[in-house]
Structure 1
């Protein structure tokens, strides 16, 4: 049985081995494993930092952002080109094998089988042959069939007008070989193509067919010099080789910085600006990444993307990626997907882990964020709901719709998937993503018929069976992405149908109200965005009242103050931590500088110890010298020298020093000195007494005797010289013949004196010798004493040096200890620095959390919250100000300013804002004067009877409450504003049947001035005496229709504004709508609609009152006031006449039925008494409920008019009497107003008369 790992044995050899019982011989199986080793190189530094900085300095951020998409144009483009083509990267031309082939490794390497569709990269110089009849493109965008075969060398160049393709110039002109075109290639001598899967080289036979694809354009910042500089061995070094470029690859060492600079930073800023309602600025930042408004020449959509990897990224569908994950047909895509899944598993909640492997996710995120900005921008303008803003919003929605394109259509599946259990799926091999490919079940039986034909089509297509495999788990819908189509369609539908953003119909004034120029000047002076100020002028009213808003504004401004204090605290703590860190660093620096001083002190102490040791040696030398002079031997001298014990370092360290007493160091005894002092003799010299030894006294005494004998000798010699002058006396005696002569005289005396002098000198010499001898002996004795003294001095010096040496040892130990302590202090100081910096210093000390970086982050976070809180407080304060202006009716009341954030970090913004909020609150208390509080019950029958008729017939009507209606009650009042509205609909309904009437205020205006003007009535939409109400469209729905306000309970103290509260009461346009699709009761039973209107008003003075009365009188005369139109139902108001009219049988001789009408004064409003008698009818309208298509009305004089169907009134026939003369307003009973009808089958007949003076 084989022992090999892969069940094959490459070789075996016999060897001896010991088993415990003896030596045996057995085989050793040897398996050889071949492993391939290759290297991949990447640049590790950014090569273009100076260039990018230069572009930033020269052109600012826009030019910097263009750096990654700046491509190298073709230096010598063909003539006649409309656009200058780009230069491709030399060895970036891509292709895929068209059929199964066998390639060879370079240098006579082994062969390799390659399947069709294998992606390869072709080197520069490869000859490409395009067959005749191939569809190619032209630079102008057109396509044509190639007349003859064409050959050219790669890489060619890239056309700007096409998104892909290779451009080259032939005799027939410039042609563009489109992507995926089948061509034959011929590699240059010695060149190899590169397999895209693994970067390994391979050689192909000449004439190999491939599907060509264009290469990538060469960036302006691109240098490919790796091969030229390093000459890499392609058998060891994987391709592609590293290049100097702005790298965005996954493996790039500095690519993350390029992603941050060119994508993440602009996207983050754009999203932040969009969230803060800075839509235009956000769009400008989005355009650094994605600019769909770019109309520069270039292919679409590549020219819209401003980030290099997004321009030439192969986008794969999710379905294709998941299918390839199971089938592994695309090797590089499979490897990339596996890496993406692994990163996703390692970082499960970080989407960048997927996006960095699939840049299309970044592209999708960018487009969706761009759409969010457009839609939010459009909604912001749409909510202002003016003609100008709606037009602007429409353009934004249309742009979003153009970006989205057509809505994706769901493609129904042709079959279904058999339900499987988890075990079944595991058996079918789950892919790494947890999905599986399964067979589809056929819904149509004959659909399983095998397809006819086989082989490959000329264009590379292949006939596939209609049945195959599919993913068991489908790809979920992207509801967020699909929701954009719904949102944009909803907004455009509402705009096209004159609906506001809530979907309610509302009429708009032709022009916006004028803007206060002073406000714009103040905003510009404060450095604010004027467009933002203008957009906030006509914002709708807040939903709640001023009191609640001002309380919330105060509360929020207090929170802003607290956050400002917190930010200031964070700044102070950051500064304190910075100061502490700086102080610790300075201390560490000072300690480092003092380290030399401490070391020098230690060395100085050591040198002092060495100096004392040398002094000790010198003293010992002198002691030994004098001891030797005194006759002692070396042994005696050595034995007499003591030894100093070592320093008790442990005692010093433990504070138990035992060498501190006097006897701790050795002491040398002194030799006795006995001086020879003579007690009997003294010598006086210069008046001083000298102490002499005996020998010195002896010397002195004998020297005295020497002197005396020398004096005596000298005296004798002098005497002899004197005696020599004495004559010589001779005496002769010669007895016996022998005689002698004796002479005696001066000579003899002289000789005698000389002899005596000689004797004296001899004695003096003796005494001189003895004196000298005594002096010598005295000096020797004195020398011995001196030597003994010096020896004792040396001993004392040795004893003293022992003490000094001990002190020096202690000082050296102290200096060494100070140096060691200084080292510990330096280490501790460095630990303090590390601790303050938040580093781990070990020793169980927790890491400092509140570092400078922590407080910097806290400051940043608090400042972010502070800014948002201030913006929230400011917005609430502005809403409160808007509510104040609304409730007090004075739009000039401005308290909230624009410059709160002025100053360092805007720390006092909360205080400033709170002060203005409090000032605004006090202004409300000071200016909130009580107004007139009135209640008016408005009858639709009296105000607009035709609208009542329309309501009864169609279920919907629109009517106006003119100002004259309120002038009837209070002429001279102005600033009439609604407080609450209730509705009563008298009608006949069944039990438990609701009367659900929708009441909508479409338009209103408020007279804001007491100036009557030249004409009391409003003169056009720009009349400054009136303000149009710009509140949001409000509606209520009644339930009982009995003084129904549309609320469960009408609470005048409600924190929210009541429905219609604050709207103009006069000149208001109302709409009533009943659910008419499925009627719950008969609308014909509605006898009237009463609107119970509670409103407030102000007194305008006598001048305004007079103008109001005059205008009312004029309106009565012109039949333009309330009550000028009266509607009568023949069936209800004239029952007798109606009965007679209905009893007439039309036919034969009777062609018409006549009805006689008598209008009396009581048929008109009460205020018309006294004037209606002299009035006249200004117009008569008839309405008939009949099945006929028309009815002819005539009088006794054969004047006739025709009633025809009016689509606005349902099934009613309507007509105006134009030819029949008008009767007086009050008819004489003897002369009734007689009308003849050619048909009396109608169920009811109404007559509306308009009367006046």
Structure 2
């Protein structure tokens, strides 16, 4: 087969950066993460390059070209795949998980919906693809791993039985397994080869967000919040679907050794398929991956093949079904999140708009502020909460200091790195400058060499003028530079060598000092002296003071003669002819002749003057030569000195070169050492990265501690207001909302919170005044005899302790709050028998305002602002004995927790329950149920208004405000014994003294007579022994004789001749005092 040449063109660039930035700027994050953006694709390669070669077009089977379109690449090996995964998957999911952990569930859900949106209803996309908003999860590819059981089944089959697709899957699994084996603690290494793991992760985090969101609403325990929580739990249940069925183990595989497993086909993954023994039907469906023609024989009745090692149970995933089922069960059975049965109020407590405004102004989430106001009351007292809040706040302050220290150290490390970088940069610049200084020193040395050459030429010139041989002079011409490294150790040696080479002494020319002319010579006429400023040598002195004056004088004499004889020449000639012999001559004498004689004399004198001038010039020239010779010597000696000085300068220049070179090398060493310091700063443990990490961790811990502290502080404030319950305190807000400044990282949050807590503590100490402490004993037989009968028969009852009962004892009080509650059940029990009665507070109320409405004390119907209601099942206790049992081991011990029912309103509704199925004693022996209620109260209500209300309440005929229970068996034993002996129905005489003392002095009016009996576990009501028309006769008997007689006829249900029977009469009545108006 011919070799195939393949060319694969990958896009090593991101084609849509501009588009993504544009979408982000125009449509924010939603537009950036939109699925339509991820699905953009453009096959640009063919359009841009337009390949027309037959080979490139793919017509030759031995030549293939593969190109990649422009798209959002999320493949496993794409150049920009990692960035796209981070942008479209990891970033939204990480943000969503972080928001969920910070109780911002709605925002977390919106971020989850950028990847997984189970609320999508688009019918154009099939399920489950429509729910995935990340394109990779919609784009299955060869090698993507299926479910775990299918994967293990493929891995356990022999390679010869695998299809091509399954072989690709096997390669991917092997690569994933190898990555897991090499890096077992890097889950992303494996998850990148098994995309379904990311899908499971997203769905599980989405479920956790829904469940945590529902739990936060469930804990608010209001009707509205529970309805919202129910919808979230239902959504989570719909995502989960049906609970996985528990498959029973009806199979039996023979025990095998490792050799047997290997022979059965166990591969590198440790999986093998084994045949099951013929025991029970194993499977009626083909195993995963067994589709095909030969699959039918693998599901035979009783015989099958299965994995020897099973797929482990995913307890975390199964736990979601348990959690959702638990929450929905509690909601549907009227329980709170802890499982306690309670009755919800119709409406949630009213919100304070001012509080929400302050929270919004402080930048706090309104939902969080609302949740804080509706948080359940703390089980511990305010003092302990304040103490713990202060302790946690101290930790917050310490964490703030640690955060500031981490920030400071991080900035210090960054500054150190910056300073070190600057130092390296300056060192490099300094090294360049030192390099230039080094080269400048070498250039200066070269310049000194040139200067030496010029100086030598001058020296040579004057030496030659002075007559020195040329060869002798030229031996000093050539000087070679010798650059020897100079150190402290060899400095003297090198210096002496350089001195011998460059600074050798040069012999100087010598001349005797010139003799100066003498002074004070009478011949001096020129005025020039030898000393003083002229320092004349003799020839110069002779020229100036001898020859030149002499020549001047003679010239002056000649001039004088010319003048004198010129004047004489003006005389006339006088002629004399002398001819003695006739022959003679003519002689003339006169002025012209005298003038000629004078000119002759003057010429002679001028000749002498010229001679003196010549002698002076000669002396001057000789003096000039003398001066020139001296100048040649001086110039030669000066050049020699300059040569020797130049030698010293060369030595200094060479040393300076060494200094500059060493300085340059030292600059390089400084850079290297600075780089080593920089590398140490970058790689040391306490580097910038560490402090950056530490800053993030401390900041996160600081924020968490602050949230913890603010939650405890607000709980403490609620506890203080609940314990103190004073209007002047309720109107104040101690724990504010402006502690945390995001721009300053909340560094002063601890100090501000500590200040608010200190104010709260001082206010608590100031307003926690002692109140009246009272105890009332509530007899169920006197208060609600029917409820007592229900307890004796059914083992449970519900009754209400009204406000008038407390007003009857101490009128004029308000704000009655329970401090302690104990229960007594007078009954007949056996030895060591526990009376396990469950006492639950169903709801309670208290009068918080002592004022009257329309001068009336009675509570109005509907919402009465004077009362505060506590709905729902607040607390329960279980007694162990029947005598004043508070359900505590030591009711008198000092406890930081609130006692059971402490703080609830004394106006209360109770539920009393005894075990109904297995009874440890006879409930019919219970003669009464007594609540010993210790409560606190404050004065302030008008006593006359309370008394008036009591009189009106007792006189009212509506309802059953008052009742008295009589046991025929115990209260009338003689009459009951006579009836059991065969007499007629009991005739009972009920005296006025048997009614409560407060009713004995008033007029009692019987409103009803009820007859009850206990049949097994049921309370049976019998016919009333008195007709309604005969009730007035009973009132008349009471008024006249202080008692009335009541005949109770026998019947078949209640009044029966049975010694165990215990019929009860309940007499309903009202009272009216003489002063009461009709």
Deviations 1:572-617 (A, max 9, x none): 3333334444444444444555555444444443333333222211
Is the contact between residue 1025 and residue 1048 of structure 2 (CA under 8 Å) also seen in structure 1? no
Deviations 1:237-260 (A, max 9, x none): 988643322122221222222222
Distance 1:446 1:1047 in 2: 57
Deviations 1:669-719 (A, max 9, x none): 211113664767886545444666666678897899999999999999x99
Q: Which residue of 1 aligns with 2:633?
A: 788
For the structure 1 residues 272 and 534, does the alpha-carbon distance in structure 2 shift closer, same or farther, using more than 3 Å as the test?
same
Match of 1:512 among 329, 348, 372: 348
Is the contact between residue 651 and residue 657 of structure 1 (CA under 8 Å) also seen in structure 2? no
Q: Which residue of 2 aligns with 1:492?
A: 328
Partner SS state of residue 809, structure 2: coil
Q: Which residue of 1 aligns with 2:842?
A: 1002
Distance 1:1022 1:1079 in 2: 42
Match of 1:300 among 127, 132, 135: 127
Is the contact between residue 1031 and residue 1063 of structure 1 (CA under 8 Å) also seen in structure 2? no
TM value normalised by structure 1: 0.74
Match of 1:907 among 739, 747, 751: 747
Is the contact between residue 879 and residue 887 of structure 2 (CA under 8 Å) also seen in structure 1? yes
Q: Which residue of 1 aligns with 2:1074?
A: none
Match of 1:1028 among 869, 885, 904: 869
Aligned residues: CA RMSD: 4.3
Distance 1:239 1:1110 in 2: 104
Partner SS state of residue 432, structure 1: coil
Partner SS state of residue 1003, structure 1: strand
Distance 1:755 1:1236 in 2: 212
Match of 1:343 among 172, 179, 193: 179
Distance 1:961 1:703 in 2: 159
Match of 2:713 among 877, 883, 896: 877
Give the superposition deviation at 1:262: 1.7
Distance 1:773 1:924 in 2: 131
Q: Which residue of 2 aligns with 1:1038?
A: 879
Q: Which residue of 2 aligns with 1:52?
A: 20
Q: Which residue of 2 aligns with 1:930?
A: 770
Deviates further, 611-620 or 807-816: 807-816
Deviates further, 988-997 or 1223-1232: 1223-1232
Q: Which residue of 2 aligns with 1:152?
A: none
Q: Which residue of 2 aligns with 1:249?
A: 75
Is the contact between residue 69 and residue 306 of structure 1 (CA under 8 Å) also seen in structure 2? no
Q: 1:268 aligned to 2:94?
A: yes
Is the contact between residue 1008 and residue 1028 of structure 2 (CA under 8 Å) also seen in structure 1? no
Match of 1:608 among 444, 467, 472: 444
Q: Which residue of 2 aligns with 1:175?
A: none
Question: Which structure features the higher share of strand residues?
Answer: 1
For the structure 1 residues 615 and 1181, does the alpha-carbon distance in structure 2 shift closer, same or farther, using more than 3 Å as the test?
same
Q: Which residue of 2 aligns with 1:951?
A: 791
Once the two structures are superposed, the pairs formed by residues 413-452 of structure 1 within 5 Å of their partners are 415-444=251-280
Partner SS state of residue 695, structure 2: helix
Q: Which residue of 2 aligns with 1:62?
A: 30
Q: 1:896 aligned to 2:735?
A: yes
Deviations 1:455-486 (A, max 9, x none): 978xx986654344321111122222222222
Once the two structures are superposed, the pairs formed by residues 27-176 of structure 1 within 5 Å of their partners are 42-66=10-34, 68-70=35-37
Q: 1:1160 aligned to 2:968?
A: no
Distance 1:855 1:237 in 2: 56
Give the superposition deviation at 1:397: 1.6
Partner SS state of residue 1112, structure 1: helix
For the structure 1 residues 381 and 753, does the alpha-carbon distance in structure 2 shift closer, same or farther, using more than 3 Å as the test?
closer
Distance 1:1138 1:711 in 2: 198
Once the two structures are superposed, the pairs formed by residues 791-1190 of structure 1 within 5 Å of their partners are 791-836=636-681, 838=682, 847-890=683-726, 891-902=730-741, 904-1014=744-854, 1015-1029=856-870, 1033-1051=874-892, 1053-1066=894-907, 1068-1101=908-941, 1103=942, 1105-1118=943-956, 1124-1144=962-982, 1154-1171=985-1002, 1174-1185=1004-1015
Is the contact between residue 275 and residue 304 of structure 2 (CA under 8 Å) also seen in structure 1? yes
Distance 1:764 1:678 in 2: 26
Is the contact between residue 1013 and residue 1019 of structure 2 (CA under 8 Å) also seen in structure 1? no
Give the superposition deviation at 1:222: 4.2
Residue correspondences, number: 1019
Distance 1:979 1:56 in 2: 61
Is the contact between residue 885 and residue 893 of structure 1 (CA under 8 Å) also seen in structure 2? no
Distance 2:349 2:599 in 1: 166
Partner SS state of residue 438, structure 1: strand
Partner SS state of residue 906, structure 1: coil
Once the two structures are superposed, the pairs formed by residues 555-574 of structure 1 within 5 Å of their partners are 555-574=391-410
Give the superposition deviation at 1:872: 0.6
Is the contact between residue 282 and residue 299 of structure 2 (CA under 8 Å) also seen in structure 1? no
Deviates further, 661-670 or 238-247: 661-670
Q: Which residue of 1 aligns with 2:1075?
A: none
Q: 1:316 aligned to 2:146?
A: yes
Once the two structures are superposed, the pairs formed by residues 231-630 of structure 1 within 5 Å of their partners are 241-298=67-124, 299-313=126-140, 316-327=146-157, 328=159, 329=162, 330-412=166-248, 415-444=251-280, 464-466=298-300, 467-595=303-431, 597-630=433-466
| Structure 2 residues not aligned, in runs of 5+ | 1072-1078
Distance 1:541 1:455 in 2: 61
TM value normalised by structure 2: 0.85
| Structure 1 residues not aligned, in runs of 5+ | 1-32, 72-218, 734-740, 839-846, 1146-1152, 1187-1208
Give the superposition deviation at 1:394: 1.6
For the structure 1 residues 440 and 957, does the alpha-carbon distance in structure 2 shift closer, same or farther, using more than 3 Å as the test?
same
Give the superposition deviation at 1:1057: 0.9
Deviations 1:828-856 (A, max 9, x none): 445555544x1xxxxxxxx3333344333
Give the superposition deviation at 1:42: 3.8
Partner SS state of residue 402, structure 1: helix
Is the contact between residue 226 and residue 243 of structure 1 (CA under 8 Å) also seen in structure 2? no
Is the contact between residue 330 and residue 336 of structure 2 (CA under 8 Å) also seen in structure 1? yes
Partner SS state of residue 969, structure 2: helix
Partner SS state of residue 1252, structure 1: strand
Q: Using CA pairs below 8 Å that are at least 6 residues apart, which structure has the higher relative contact order?
A: 2
Distance 1:644 1:464 in 2: 103
For the structure 1 residues 595 and 728, does the alpha-carbon distance in structure 2 shift closer, same or farther, using more than 3 Å as the test?
farther
Is the contact between residue 20 and residue 32 of structure 2 (CA under 8 Å) also seen in structure 1? yes
Deviations 1:460-513 (A, max 9, x none): 986654344321111122222222222222222222222222222212222223
Deviations 1:723-749 (A, max 9, x none): 99998989999xxxxxxx9999999x9
Give the superposition deviation at 1:306: 1.5
Is the contact between residue 1034 and residue 1059 of structure 1 (CA under 8 Å) also seen in structure 2? yes
Partner SS state of residue 714, structure 2: helix
Is the contact between residue 683 and residue 691 of structure 1 (CA under 8 Å) also seen in structure 2? no
Is the contact between residue 836 and residue 878 of structure 2 (CA under 8 Å) also seen in structure 1? yes
Distance 1:237 1:907 in 2: 67
For the structure 1 residues 787 and 344, does the alpha-carbon distance in structure 2 shift closer, same or farther, using more than 3 Å as the test?
same
Q: Which residue of 2 aligns with 1:1250?
A: 1068
Partner SS state of residue 1004, structure 1: strand
For the structure 1 residues 851 and 726, does the alpha-carbon distance in structure 2 shift closer, same or farther, using more than 3 Å as the test?
farther
